[in-house]
Structures are given as C-alpha cells and as structure tokens.
C-alpha cells in the first residue's frame, strides 16, 4: 500500500474514537426532547444526564495518563473502544434515569481516554509536514460524529422510544474502532522510548522512506539519551522549563470551552425551537453539524499552510463577533423584526461554527499532542484532555441554569462567552508559539 494511503488509513481508524466522541456528546442534543418525556426530567436531572459524559471525561485522563506511557498508545485505545461498546449498550437499554446516567458516565470515561490518546497516537505516527493535517482528522471525526447524531435524531424524531434508537446507533462505530485498532501498528516513538528500536524501525519503514526512517529513529534516540530530557517523572510537567506547555494545555481548552461551543452543540435544538416550529428546528441543528464538518475540512487544508497561530487569531476575532451578534439578537428581541432576529441568531451561530472549526476546535487537540516532551507525553496529553473536560463540564452544567435566568432571556450568556474569547487574544499573543513545520523533536529541544 502507498505510504501516504497507509498513514491516512491508520489515522482514519484511530480517528473513529473522535467520531464516537462527537456522536456521544452530540446525540444528547436531539435525544433530550424524548428523554424529558420518558423520564419526566427536572432541570437538575437534565443537567446530570447531559454532563454525565463530561464527568466521565474528566476521569478518563487519570486512566489514560499512566497507562498510555506504560501499555502503549494502541492498547489503551483498544481498552477505550471496549468501554464504548459497553456504554453504548447500557444507555440504549436504560430502564431508568440512574441507569442512563451510569451508561453515559462510561461513555464519558471512554471519550476522556481517546481524547488524549488518539491525537497523540496520530501525531507520533505522522510526518512533520502533515502532522497538523492528520491530527485534525480527529477533530474532523468529532464533527462527523456530531453531524451523525443530528441526522439520526432527525430520522428517528417522532418514533416511539426514539432516544433508544439514537443511542443504539453509537454501538456501530464503537465496534468498528474495537476491530480496527487490532490492525494498526504501535507508535514508533513509544516503542523507541521502551528500548524496542528494531520494532520501531519496522513501523517507520512502512510509513517513511528508508532514509527518513533512520533519521527519525536516530533523532528520537538522541533526545531520549540526553540527561536533560528527564526520567519520565510526571512531576517535570510542573517545572519552570515546561511552564509554557503547561499554560498552553490549560489555556487553549479554557478558551475553547468558554467560547460557548458546547452550549451550542448540546442545546442548539432548544435555541432554534424558540424561532421555528416542529422538525424545522431539528433541521436547523443538522445544519450546524454540516457546517461544522465542512469548516473542519477547510482547517485540515489550512493548518499546515497558514500555521497554528494566525488561524488562532482569525478564529478568536471571528467567534467574538458572532457571539456578540447572537447576544444582541436576544437582547433586542422585542424591538427587532422577527425575520431579522432569525437571521442574526441562525447566521450568527452558523458563522460562529465556521470560525471555531478552523481554529479553536482542532488547535486544542493538535497543540497538546505537539508541545510536550516524549517521556511524559502520554501523561501530559491526558492532563491537557482533563482540562478540556473540566471546563466543558462547567459550561454544560451551568448553561441550563443560566438559561433559566435573565441572562438566558437577554443574551447575557453569549456576552460572557464573547468576553472570554476576547481575553484569549492575549493568550494567543503571549503564550502560544508556532509549531508548523517543526518535528516533535525540534519542539522538545525548545524546552532544553
């Protein structure tokens, strides 16, 4: 098989974890209307049903952190896929809300694992000139999973026990991931870190020219042999020399989540139902998924051409403008013509999705897969993933409560999100650095 096709195939199999990530977080958006009727959900129970996945996601990195560096990238992804299979079954057959929350906690655990291990696995297999493109496969898969969940919701809407059919659909990609991970290689950089250089070279020869394979092997071995590279102790992540990577892992996900992305992903159907009747609101939500997917395809083309930092600036400015537009549409709803308010809300949300998908969306996962030293990369990427779930949990948990207050009526929620995004411009200017065109070893040398 052609080397480019092979690496694309491997990245595609691994990125199925992202598809499950997107599906199992997005499906709650379209399942909520029937779940409310089936279980007579209060706002408090609804918050737990939605955010159980996020609570599980926060636990996932504590599982993957030590095991990714100990067992390897491949085995931990096989474990996660098995948890996906079990969680999908449990949510689909749930007899009560407690059982449902338990199943979603398991799904969250699996998502929390793959969120750190899949981008890391792809980054360690990818050539430096295509690393941004290939790691963004994970974000593309997330958007495809979200789109799939919305389409499934639209198709099953109105059927008896529609939510069960929606959750059963998640079983299929879980089984694909579980099967597919047995047919892909282990990360060559992890093999080298365990003294298994011959095995690593066999993998590299399948993915690179013989000269490139030997050069990459030598460069990685040199990095690992330097005394200054540390002994793999996770505590070095919190030392002064790694302060910038630590801040990147925290800051990028704080801004990403408090830009309000998952308030839209989880609750856009409810927002659109304030504007449209019946299936039109669900169809408008499907539009969110379609735009998210196509914008992420654009990001794949741009990240290795324009670079990480310029796209971050573009995305932050664009999302801030769109959030302001949506917030203004809510604030002035009594004085605006109905048609204009619809254009401001739907257009603002759709355009927001475009700016997010070319910047904050893929950059979170890409940066945490790039900036950490090899010896603690598994642990550090998992901690970066934990930051995502920690901030995501509080956004999802707080949104229905805030929406029930005056902040929900007057668009103040979106004003808060806009302020966070604008503050993110300082983060982009003073913390983030450009990694385009650098090998993982070149980046690691910066911390010497």
Pairwise CA distance, residues 83 & 56, whole Å: 12
Angle of the 197-207 helix axis to the 3-14 helix axis, nearest 10: 110
Q: Which residue has the tokens 């070893």?
A: 441
pLDDT of residue 274: 73
- The residue that leads in pLDDT, 125 or 274, is 125
C-beta of residue 325 within 8 angstroms of C-beta of residue 347: yes
pLDDT at 279 > cutoff 80: no
In this prediction, residue 228 has a pLDDT band, given cuts at 50, 70 and 90, of very low
pLDDT of residue 409: 66
In this prediction, residue 232 has a pLDDT band, given cuts at 50, 70 and 90, of low
Q: Which residue has the tokens 């900036």?
A: 371
For 3-17, 310-324, 383-397, 414-428, which range has the lowest pLDDT when averaged over its residues?
383-397
Reduce the DSSP state of residue 438 to 3 states and report it: coil
C-beta of residue 152 within 8 angstroms of C-beta of residue 38: no
Q: Read off φ and ψ for residue 218, nearest 5 degrees.
A: -65, -45
Q: Which residue has the tokens 């950490």?
A: 372
pLDDT at 38 > cutoff 70: yes
pLDDT of residue 230: 47
Rounded to 5°, the CA angle 100-102-107 comes to 95
Pairwise CA distance, residues 230 & 372, whole Å: 12
pLDDT at 233 > cutoff 80: no
For 1-5, 196-200, 302-306, 364-368, which range has the lowest pLDDT when averaged over its residues?
1-5
In angstroms, the Cα distances linking 354 to 290, 291, 314, 348 are 10, 7, 11, 10
Pairwise CA distance, residues 26 & 290, whole Å: 13
**Rounded-to-5 percentages of helix, strand, coil across the chain:** 85, 0, 15
pLDDT of residue 33: 83
Top-ranked range on mean pLDDT: pick from 155-164, 295-304, 310-319, 405-414: 310-319
**Both tokens of residue 421?**
């995004």
For 63-77, 93-107, 312-326, which range has the lowest pLDDT when averaged over its residues?
63-77
User: What is the chain's length?
Assistant: 448
For the stretch 146-185, pLDDT in tens is 889 988 988 888 787 889 999 999 999 999 999 999 999 9
In angstroms, the Cα distances linking 319 to 352, 365, 424 are 5, 19, 11
Which CATH superfamily includes the segment(s) 3-184+226-445?
MFS general substrate transporter like domains (1.20.1250.20)
In this prediction, residue 324 has a pLDDT band, given cuts at 50, 70 and 90, of very high
C-beta of residue 326 within 8 angstroms of C-beta of residue 352: yes
C-beta of residue 91 within 8 angstroms of C-beta of residue 28: no
**Both tokens of residue 2?**
């052609």
- The residue that leads in pLDDT, 367 or 338, is 367
Pairwise CA distance, residues 402 & 203, whole Å: 51
pLDDT of residue 278: 67
Q: In the chain, what percentage of residues exceed pLDDT 90?
A: 42
pLDDT of residue 399: 76
pLDDT at 303 > cutoff 70: yes
DSSP string, 299-368: HHHHTTTT-HHHHHHHHHHHHHHHHHHHHHHHHTTTTS-HHHHHHHHHHHHHHHHHHHHTTHHHHHHHHH
**Both tokens of residue 390?**
């920690």
pLDDT at 264 > cutoff 80: no
In this prediction, residue 73 has a pLDDT band, given cuts at 50, 70 and 90, of very high
> How would you label 126-162 residue by residue, b for 16+ Cβ within 10 Å and e otherwise?
bbbebbbbbbbbbbbbbbbbbbbbbbbbbbbbeeeeb
Pairwise CA distance, residues 272 & 282, whole Å: 8
In this prediction, residue 229 has a pLDDT band, given cuts at 50, 70 and 90, of very low
- The residue that leads in pLDDT, 19 or 393, is 19
Pairwise CA distance, residues 241 & 448, whole Å: 7
For the stretch 86-111, pLDDT in tens is 999 999 999 999 999 999 999 999 99
Average the pLDDT over 132-150 and give the result.
89
Average the pLDDT over 207-235 and give the result.
77
DSSP letter (8 states) at residue 232: S
- Other beta carbons within 10 angstroms of residue 411's beta carbon come to 22
Per-chain mean pLDDT for the chain: 87
Top-ranked range on mean pLDDT: pick from 252-256, 261-265, 278-282: 252-256
pLDDT at 280 > cutoff 80: no
For the stretch 199-210, pLDDT in tens is 999 999 999 989
C-beta of residue 121 within 8 angstroms of C-beta of residue 17: no
Top-ranked range on mean pLDDT: pick from 100-104, 145-149, 303-307, 412-416: 100-104
> How would you label 67-88 residue by residue, b for 16+ Cβ within 10 Å and e otherwise?
bbbebbbbebbbbbbebbbbbb
C-beta of residue 310 within 8 angstroms of C-beta of residue 132: no
């Amino acid at each position: 098989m052609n080397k480019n096709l092979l690496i694309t195939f491997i990245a595609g199999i691994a990125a199925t974890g992202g598809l499950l990530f997107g599906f199992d977080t997005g499906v709650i958006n379209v399942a909520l209307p029937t779940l409310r009727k089936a279980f007579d959900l209060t706002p408090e129970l609804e918050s737990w049903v939605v955010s159980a996945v996020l609570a599980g996601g926060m636990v996932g990195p504590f599982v993957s952190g030590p095991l990714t560096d100990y067992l390897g990238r491949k085995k931990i992804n096989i474990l996660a896929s098995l948890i996906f299979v079990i969680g999908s079954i449990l949510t689909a057959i749930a007899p009560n809300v407690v059982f449902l929350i338990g199943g979603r906690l398991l799904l969250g655990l699996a998502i929390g694992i793959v969120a750190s291990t899949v981008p890391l696995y792809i980054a360690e297999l990818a050539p430096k000139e295509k690393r941004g493109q290939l790691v963004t496969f994970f974000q593309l898969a997330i958007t495809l999973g979200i789109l799939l969940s919305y389409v499934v919701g639209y198709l099953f809407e109105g059927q008896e026990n529609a939510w069960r059919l929606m959750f059963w659909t998640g079983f299929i990609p879980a089984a694909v991931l579980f099967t597919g991970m047995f047919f892909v290689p282990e990360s060559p950089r992890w093999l080298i870190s365990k003294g298994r250089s011959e095995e690593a070279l066999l993998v590299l020869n399948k993915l690179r020219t013989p000269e490139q394979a030997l050069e990459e092997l030598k460069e990685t071995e040199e990095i690992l042999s330097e005394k200054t590279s540390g002994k793999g102790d996770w505590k070095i992540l919190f030392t002064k020399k790694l302060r910038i990577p630590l801040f990147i892992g925290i800051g990028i996900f704080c801004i990403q989540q408090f830009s309000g992305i998952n308030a839209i992903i989880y609750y856009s159907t409810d927002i659109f139902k304030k504007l449209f009747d019946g299936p039109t609101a669900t169809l408008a939500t499907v539009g969110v998924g379609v735009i998210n997917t196509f914008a992420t395809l654009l990001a794949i083309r741009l990240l290795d051409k324009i670079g990480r930092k310029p796209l971050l600036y573009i995305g932050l400015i664009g999302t801030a403008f769109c959030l302001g537009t949506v917030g203004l549409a809510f604030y002035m709803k009594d004085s605006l013509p109905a048609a204009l308010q619809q254009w401001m809300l739907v257009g603002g949300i759709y355009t927001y999705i475009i700016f997010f998908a070319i910047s904050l969306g893929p950059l979170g996962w890409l940066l945490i897969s790039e900036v950490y030293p090899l010896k603690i990369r598994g642990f550090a990427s998992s901690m970066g993933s934990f930051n995502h779930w920690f901030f995501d949990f509080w956004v999802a948990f707080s949104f229905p409560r805030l929406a029930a207050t005056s902040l929900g009526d007057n668009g103040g929620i979106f004003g808060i999100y806009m302020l966070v995004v604008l503050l993110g411009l300082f983060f982009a200017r003073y913390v983030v650095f450009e990694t385009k065109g650098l090998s993982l070893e070149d980046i690691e040398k910066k911390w010497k």
